[in-house]
Chains A and B, each alone.
Chain A
Amino acid sequence: GAVVSQHPSRVICKSGTSVKIECRSLDFQATTMFWYRQFPKQSLMLMATSNEGSKATYEQGVEKDKFLINHASLTLSTLTVTSAHPEDSSFYICSAPETGVGSPLHFGNGTRLTVT
């Protein structure tokens, strides 16, 4: 079945540094990918929609300059947390629909970011 690979699974960084998270669709092409954030014991909150070949669409309240998204190809989207601070520590999950509108999303295994 369709697989979405997310890397790294865990990362610890120092405050003020930047961290890049990769999301790849392994056996299908994804013109759109979604980035979610999950706080402990809470549900997933959509951060942004990554669009191949164009700018990402950010949800209200999400800082574009803090969370940089690049969808460079039909199989790769990256999320860069810039100048990370401890409050950015969270579980970040990407997802992609396998085919067109209406198809279910396939999720990566998530990235646990800890900023010290």
Chain B
Amino acid sequence: AQSVTQPDIHITVSEGASLELRCNYSYGATPYLFWYVQSPGQGLQLLLKYFSGDTLVQGIKGFEAEFKRSQSSFNLRKPSVHWSDAAEYFCAVGLMEYGNKLVFGAGTILRVKS
């Protein structure tokens, strides 16, 4: 069965420090991978997506993610975190044979300390 694992429930980083959020997936076919961000009480905003091609993808707000097939990973990174990045981040795999259905990871809550 398809699944997405985000091993870190909470992460705290200092403002200006670098960030890496981990994501591993289990999926039989070539995955479509996404990272979304959710602020409290809000919907989800797409940060970036991977469909094919270059395995390093750039997203909005200075985020990037690297697809590593050998490790079944799609980790999200940002070189310098801002206080406004504090939110919950969800990794998702797209089940395109079922028409764009997404399976989400459990999420990682990012806290930024000044």
Contact = CB atoms under 8 A, between A and B. Distances in A.
Interface stretch (A14-22, A79-87, A97-105): A97-105
Interface in A62-96: 91, 93, 95
B100 A103 contact: yes
A31 B102 CA distance: 16
A49 B99 contact: yes
B27 interface: no
A110 B34 CA distance: 19
Nearest to B107: A43
A105 B43 contact: no
A39 to B, nearest CB: 11
B17 interface: no
B102 A102 contact: no
Nearest to B36: A107
B2 to A, nearest CB: 12
